[in-house]
Amino acid sequence: MIDYQNAINEIQKLYINDRRPWIIGFSGGKDSTCVTQLVYYMIKKLPPDKRKKEVYVLSSDTLVESPYIQERIKKSCNKIETQATKDNLPISVKILRPELNDTFWINLIGRGYPSPNQWFRWCTERLKIKPVTKYTVEHVKANGEVIIILGARKDESGSRAQTMSKYEIKNYKLRRHKNISGAYIYTPLENWSLEDVWAYLFQVKSPWGDNNRDLFALYKKCDSECPLVIDESTPACGGSRFGCWVCTVVERDRALEGLIEEGETWLTPLLEFRNWLKDIRNDPKARNPIRKSDRKKKRVADFFGKDFIPSEHRGHKVLGPFSFKTRHEILQKLLALQSEFIKRKIVLISPEEIKAIETLWIYEGDNISSISEVLDSGRASMSSKNNFINKDLLVELCSKYKIPVDLIERLLIVEKDFSKLSRRTGIFSRLERVIEEYVRGSLEKQ
């Protein structure tokens, strides 16, 4: 049995040792809740003149978190910050989100990336690692060094213990961050068992008012959580109650399945949509026959009359991204699903994402009329429309000068995207890119 007071004393000793700010990874799960409580109570017991080190409680919102869990985490984050203010503690809460260009839907629907799997897990870097890395680097630049507090435990798995041991500094409580110079990792629970964590949470009341026994109820069927991800060694969280609802890296989403079995049947449409995304991933009919990087190679081979050999992986032909038809279908289904969740005030995809997807499709050479049909039939009232174009006048002018209408439409949309910028740097390269894609598409159709 862990001596909790000794654990708090060790944390306190490290806290008052220097001025390096702390970043606590908070996922809302048992381990991160436990370590956050320990730090909170430790600081609260210190006299005011000793509370000099800033502590940032960091939570990650991938924008595709399970709505049920995300609402709980948001409430906990608000409670932590409110209570810390009342107690006059140097604790603040920050919820990190991926940049627009990196969101799940931008990559899956906009760029056509196939649903993630264990061999092509493109989501983790963009949705989790990049936001945390950026935040950490900013604090390293401002303070020289930072310490990241995680709830990782060695008894979680052999691979976790091996990873933790790899970056240990002999006779030192901290570990070097794998990728960020100036960042160190501290794991106060590394030698705790699962029983130790729950025993503490049951014995010690949450300082911000959460009910830890309600948290325990979430683990009845699934006892894993999704920690703050700081590098690619962290396993996928799709089998966790604290993971993304769209995770297709795992075979089954036991998180959503478990919640539905426990009575949260309103989550059923999300599970069905997620399973469909997984099913279509390797369907050749849903994908382009070749990768984007192979398109140029194929044109060169065709020009010289040579055979083109597409990329292979483990003896299998590598398919290209989702076709425009598939991307259209995904967006239509997602927007229809979104309409079912409006009454719950849950946003599955934002208006900004829809607009960015529309723009990406145009840059890649999608047909303007097809895009309009998708947005209209998909109930994309949130998305801006291209009604700034006078269609009749455009057709008349294009006919007069013998210029393709759909090409000019694409160029006008690019110009509109840049029209609100004070400096329109890059507009010419964007226009050239649209023309190039149009010409390439035309040649491939011949």
CATH of the domain at 82: 3.40.50.620
Give the residue from 227, 244, 261 where a domain finishes. 244
39 in a domain, yes or no?
Answer: yes
Give the range of the structural domain holding residue 419, as residue numbers without chain letter: 335-445
How is residue 388 written in tokens?
């700034």
416 in a domain, yes or no?
Answer: yes
299 in a domain, yes or no?
Answer: no
> Are 235 and 344 contained in the same domain?
no
Residue 204, pLDDT score: 94
Residue 445, pLDDT score: 64
Residue 107, pLDDT score: 96
207 in a domain, yes or no?
Answer: yes
Q: What are phi and psi of 416, to 5 degrees?
A: -65, -40
Residue 225, pLDDT score: 52
Residue 386, pLDDT score: 47
C-beta of residue 129 within 8 angstroms of C-beta of residue 232: yes
Helix (H) or strand (E) holding 412: helix 405-418
Q: In terms of Cα–Cα distance, which of 32, 55, 53, 40 is closest to 8? A: 40
Residue 380, pLDDT score: 44
Residue 392, pLDDT score: 77
How is residue 128 written in tokens?
């989790």
C-beta of residue 292 within 8 angstroms of C-beta of residue 322: no
> Are 238 and 341 contained in the same domain?
no
Residue 381, pLDDT score: 41
Residue 4, pLDDT score: 86
Residue 88, pLDDT score: 96
pLDDT, averaged in runs of 10, over the chain (446 residues): 86 93 94 96 95 94 90 94 97 95 96 91 92 95 95 74 56 82 94 93 95 86 51 49 82 86 91 96 90 66 65 69 95 92 89 89 81 69 49 81 81 68 67 76 66
405 in a domain, yes or no?
Answer: yes
Q: In what order do the strands lie in the sheet with 22-25?
A: 91-96, 55-60, 22-25, 146-149, 183-186, 174-176
195 in a domain, yes or no?
Answer: yes
pTM: 0.78
How many domains in the chain?
2
Residue 238, pLDDT score: 42
- Cα-trace Rg, the chain: 25
Q: Which DSSP string do the residues of 327-379 spell out, in sequence order?
A: HHHHHHHHHHHHHHHGGGT--SS-HHHHHHHHHHHHHTT--HHHHHHHHHHTT
435 in a domain, yes or no?
Answer: yes
Q: In terms of Cα–Cα distance, which of 264, 281, 294 is closest to 66? A: 264
423 in a domain, yes or no?
Answer: yes
Phi-psi region of 354 (alpha: psi -120 to 50; beta: other; left: phi over 0): alpha
